[in-house]
Amino acid sequence: MQKISRILKIFYILWRYGLFELLQRNIKPGLIFFLVWPLALLSPARYRPRGERLRLTLEDLGPVFIKFGQVLSTRRDLLPEDIADELAKLQDSVPPFSSTQSAEIVQAALGLDLKDIFSSFDANPVASASVAQVHFGVLCGTEKNPEWEGQSVAIKVLRPGILKVIESDLALMRTLAYFVERFSEDGKRLKPQEVVAGFDTTIHDELDLLREASNCSQLRRNFVGSNQIMIPDVYWDLCHVNVMVMQRMYGISIARLDELRAAGVDLRQLAVDGVEVFFTQAFSHGFFHADMHPGNIMVSLEPATFGRLISLDFGIVGTLSEVDKNYLVQNFLAFFNRDYHRVAALHVESGWVPAQTSIEELEGAVRAVCEPYFDRPLKEISLGIVLLRLFQTSRRFKVEIQPQLTLLQKTLLNVEGLGRQLDPDLDLWKTVKPIMQTWMNEQVGVKGFWEKLKLEAPQWAQKVPTLPRLIVQWLENDIRNKSLVDREELLDLVKKHTDAQGYWKFVSIFLIGLLAGICLILFLPLFQSI
């Protein structure tokens, strides 16, 4: 009964905001078209802009749909610009749940009374979203951890019953996505079922606060000793799948520019730091914070850490493989060198372009996308938009863009927007180019070769001593498996075996050299430390 009621409510909201009229425009002619037509005609909001109607619909449908809209807004490679811009306005803010519920969840998760964990626990949440809310508190010292005494912390608590709500709404989303893909003319291009599946993964990741804690811990470890960014420490003994306790960070939102200026913060340097931090995450670490909007970034005003960025909320992160990084770096470098043939060739080398694709055609499409940007000053060029246009062009050639690259592109747009808000004259390419060149040098230079050799050395040290035995076994098996029919065949085998033995001098020299190199790699640190 509850499910039927929810479906009817969704049906009413879709009609109220004129979504049936939008559907009718894109629906294939048939029975469904004529059923939807009167509903579209009678909608009170049918004259509003389509992006606004979609945003209002999602807001009215509730927190899970709001979050889905936020995820959908990142797929600018699929959506028209007006819809993507409107969906980006969605605010993930919902009324908090009761402090009593919050306290009960924390106590149940940690198996202790609140008074045994916290000397103070603020019942009023400092932030409340669709998935969780955050409280402030002060820890008590324990026998195991006396250093906890007086430590200020932030306690993130998962919203009660949220999993049931999410599963119910996801089921409805899958049904809606199926019908859009089945009956809409743009259904196949928009890939709604694929988008819903991606959202399913994202939101379930956010429901596991242990996963978020591990993301936070990894990012903190990557920036140990940094004078650009601060990331809270995690209290692992006080973390659970639905509760996360971390160090409380003090600062003001990066969006409050007037307060930052009044405090004496160098906004230009802050912009450079933000861009450098993000690209360091992406290309040096291959692990980046994928939700870098102003609500998740603060600036420290403490004397010891004045002007440093503070990162919060680690539910969404992205990873880049060496292949991804190579693809992106070389694309950007080729773009700024106007080497469009190289950009096209990179798409082929990535293996994402169908084998029958014409490189010349792809090159022409890339040129048409990229060339107009060079009429602008370099500081006005958006790397996020360039990447978006490349993705859109790639889709025309049936290239399947990897989800992690789409996530990176969305985050890059956020970082660029934030950077230019802080410093309108920010030359993004000037800031980013040294990071990319450093990465390239580390990959293809002597240093890169040395690092890869050190990485592979332990495995080779195990395998090399067994090579002579494996070669002999191979030769013996080769002789054993041959059917010796006549004298000539036997002579051929003997010759083959003799030739193989003739290579032993070469093999021996090679193995001795390889072993010497491995020994040098393995024992060099010992000699350096003496």
Closest Cα partner for 290 from 412, 158, 431? 412
How far from chain centre, in Å, is Cα 350?
Answer: 19
186 annotated active-site:
no
- With a CB cutoff of 8 Å and minimum separation 6, the contacts of 123 are 99, 102, 103, 135
**Helix, strand or coil, per DSSP, at residue 379:** helix
| Residue in 76, 237, 231, 20 with CA at minimum distance from that of residue 143 | 237
Coil, strand or helix: which one is 388? helix
- CA nearest 282: which of 410, 453, 421, 393? 410
Distance between CA atoms of 295 and 155, rounded to whole angstroms?
Answer: 17
Tokens of 316: 């969404």
Q: Name, in order, each residue with C-beta under 8 angstroms of 181's C-beta and a sequence gap of 6 or more.
A: 187, 188, 190, 191, 192, 193
How far does Cα 442 stand from its chain's mean position?
Answer: 23
CB 227 within 8 A of CB 152: no
- For CA atoms 371, 373, 379, 382, give the dihedral sign: negative
Tokens read off for 325 = 């990084």
Contact present, 294 and 418 (Cβ < 8 Å): yes
Pairing status of strand 309-311 against strand 229-230: parallel
Neighbours of 117 (CB within 10 A): 23
Q: Are 247 and 236 spatial neighbours (Cβ–Cβ below 8 Å)? A: no
Strands 317-319 and 287-289: antiparallel
374 close to 338: Cβ distance less than 8 angstroms: yes
Q: What is the DSSP string of 235-294?
A: -GGG-BTTEEEEE----EETT-HHHHHHHT--HHHHHHHHHHHHHIIIIIISEEES--SG
Nearest Cα to 319, choosing from 287, 290, 292? 287
Residue 69 and residue 57: Cα distance in Å, rounded?
10
Catalytic residue among 291, 313, 324, 423: 291
- Structure token digits, residue 299: 């600036």
Beta bridge partners of 154: 136, 246
**Which residues have a catalytic role annotated?**
291
